Each structure stands twice: as structure tokens, then as C-alpha cells.
Amino acid sequence: MKKSAVIEVIVSLLVFLFIYAAISKLLDLSKFRYQLGQSPFMTRLAPIAVWAIPTSEILIAIALMIKRYRTAGLYLAFYLMLVFSGYIYIMLRYSPHLPCTCGGVLSSMSWKQHLVFNLFFSGLVLLSAILHQYPPLHPHPTGKKLNT
């Protein structure tokens, strides 16, 4: 499979994931707000996070769709996935109460499954960012191999 095709598949998955997650949160905003408020680590940030999280997911999805902003979108997606993974890890490790703030199908996952899911997608984002950053090696005009 060509490198560009791998990047496009990963980017498409990320766009779908971020748009789906954002829309599911926004469609049931009061539930999302309540669940964020129940988190021992998010109580103070809930009024801001309730809008910042879905907005960030949508903006990152848009950046990923526009080739000019794709590199920034990949780095932001990687950062956001790591933040989400770190939050899940901290909640699993230190919180006696685990309110689920995800919507749709993602809310049916356990916290441990969600951590694995996030780490998997973090790996995909990192792979895509690496592939996107380094252009393919082109053959030398004389037919000689480069980088042997």
C-alpha cells in the first residue's frame, strides 16, 4: 500500500472519530456537562471543557481535511489523543468514581477498553504524522539507487 494511501486512510478514520465524538457530545450537551461535572478532576473546568472539547475535535477534523493544515492537524490530534489517554489513565488510577463523558458507541466501552482504543489511535496518528512529514524517496534520474 502506498504511503499516501495509508495517510489518507488514517486521516479519514481520525476525521470520522473526531466529528462523531464532537457531534455525540453536542447532541446531548446537558448530559455531557453533567458528566464532566461529576469527574473529580474536571469539576472546575467543566463549564469551559463542555465547549472546548467538541470545538477542538471539530477544528482538528477540519485541519486534517485541508491538506495545507494537515501537518498541524496531525500534531494537534496526537496531542489531544494523548491528553485524553492521560486523563483516562489518571481516572483509572486515582478516581473511585468513573463517570463516562463519551457519547454514542464510545460510551459503551469500559474505561480500560477506552484507554486501549485511545492509545491505538494515538499510535495511528503518530504513524501518519511521521509518514506525512517525510516525503517518499524518488529514484535518481540516472537510475542509481539512493540511500542504500
Q: Is the pLDDT of residue 147 over 70?
A: no
More confident: 104 or 96: 96
- Give me the amino acid identity at 48: I
Q: Is the pLDDT of residue 140 over 60?
A: no
Return the C-alpha cell found at 111: 474505561
- pTM (predicted TM-score): 0.81
What is the structure's pLDDT at 81?
94
For the chain, what is the mean pLDDT? 85
What is the per-residue DSSP string for 74-139?
HHHHHHHHHHHHHHHHHHHHH-S-------GGGGGS-HHHHHHHHHHHHHHHHHHHHHHHSPPPPP
**Proportion of the chain above pLDDT 90, given as a percent:** 47
Q: Is the pLDDT of residue 57 over 80?
A: yes
